[in-house]
Amino acid sequence: MSARAADSAQDAATVAADGDNLLGLPRAALEQWFAERGHKPFHARQLMQWVHQRQVLDFESMTDLAKPLRAELAANATLELPRIINRHKSTDGTFKWLMAAKNGQAIETVFIPEADRGTLCISSQVGCALDCAFCATAKQGFNSNLTTAEIVGQVWTAIAELPRRANGESAITNVVFMGMGEPLANYRSVVPALQLLLDDHAYGLSRRRVTLSTSGLVPQLDKLAQECNVALAVSLHAPDDDLRDRLVPINKIHPIEDLLDACWRYVAAFGNRHVTFEYVMLDGVNDQREHADALARLLAGKPAKVNLIPFNPFPGTEFERSPDAVIDRFRDRLRFRNVVTTVRRTRGDDIDAACGQLAGRVKDRVRRRLGDR
C-alpha cells in the first residue's frame, strides 16, 4: 500500500471511529467529510477554528459558514464532548476531572499549573492492558480505547473550564499523554489527536509542547517516527531486562535493547531532539547505586534525559517510595556520569492526581495480550 493510500485508509478509519462527531476529526479527515457531501475543503479549516480556537459548538453561531451549510451540519453532524462527572482541586492547585466515556466507563484528566506553564495530562484508554506493577491504572484492568473525540474532548473541556492567563491565552501550554492507558496501544485514535493539537487551525501547540509517553511498543514507535513529530517520553523504570520484566511486563516482548534502538531511530528521524526516560523510584527495588551506574551505561553518549519520579502510593500496592535522600543520591550519581537528570515534583497526590495514581472507573474489564492494538 502506498503512503498516500495508507493515509487515506487512516482518515477513513478515523471517520468510522468517531462517526459524525466532528470534534475528533483532524484536518484531512474533516476535509474528506465535507468533500463526500459536495462541499469545498476550506470549510474544514473554518469549522476547526470555530470549534478548537473559539470554542463554539453551536453550528448556527458559525457566521462565516453559509446558512444552508449550517443547517446541514446541524441536521447531520454533532460536536459531542465527554461529560464531566466530577471535579477535584488539590491544595497545590492541581485540578482533576473525572469524565464519562462510553458504556458507563470513566477516565481522568489532570491539569498541573506552574508559574511558567500549565500542563494538561490526558488519557487515551479506559484502563490499561500493560499491567505495570507500580501503576494504579494497570490495577483497574482494561476496557476500551478512547475515540479521538474523547481524547481531544479532554483538552477542549479543560480549556473551557480553566481561567485564562493574564494575557488572555489558554492556561494550557503543554499537553502530555501520560494519563490512563498506553497511547501507542490506541494508535489509530491517538495520532489524529496529536495532529489536532499541532494544527495551526486547531490548538496550534508546538511539537516540543506535546509529549507522548509510552511503555515501549516498538513497532508502533517506529510507525510514529514516520507519521508524527512530538516529544517522546519512555517509561523505562529499570536498567536491565530481569528487573524491567517484573516492573513493566511489555519488556518480555520488547526488551530494553530493542526499545532503546527504536528510541534512537525516533530521534534520528527528526534531528536535534532527545528522549526523556521516566524512572519511578521504588524503595529498595530499583534505586541503588548499581542501578544508577547501569542506567548511566545504557544512556552514555545518547540524546537522553532521565526524569526521576518519586513513587506515588495507592491502595493495595506492594511498593514504597524511595526516601528523598536516596532519590537525591541517585540523581547525583547519574549527573556525575554525565546523564542529564531531573526529579519530578509530586503534585496533586492529595486528590490521587499524581503520576501513577489515575484510576478512573473501569467496569467490564477485557483481558488483552500485552501490546495488542
Residue 72 burial (C-beta neighbours within 10 Å; 0-12, 13-18, 19+): middle
DSSP codes joined into one string, 112-127: EE-SS-EEEE---EEE
Active site residue 135: no
Catalytic residue, chosen from 121, 135, 263, 355, is 355
Count the neighbouring beta carbons within 10 Å of the beta carbon of residue 8.
Answer: 15
Closest listed residue to residue 314, CA positions, set 279, 359, 271, 282:
359
Closest listed residue to residue 334, CA positions, set 283, 285, 292:
292
Closest listed residue to residue 246, CA positions, set 285, 302, 203:
285
Catalytic residue, chosen from 31, 108, 182, 278, is 108
CA distance 293 to 272: 26
CA distance 283 to 319: 7
Active-site residue list: 108, 355
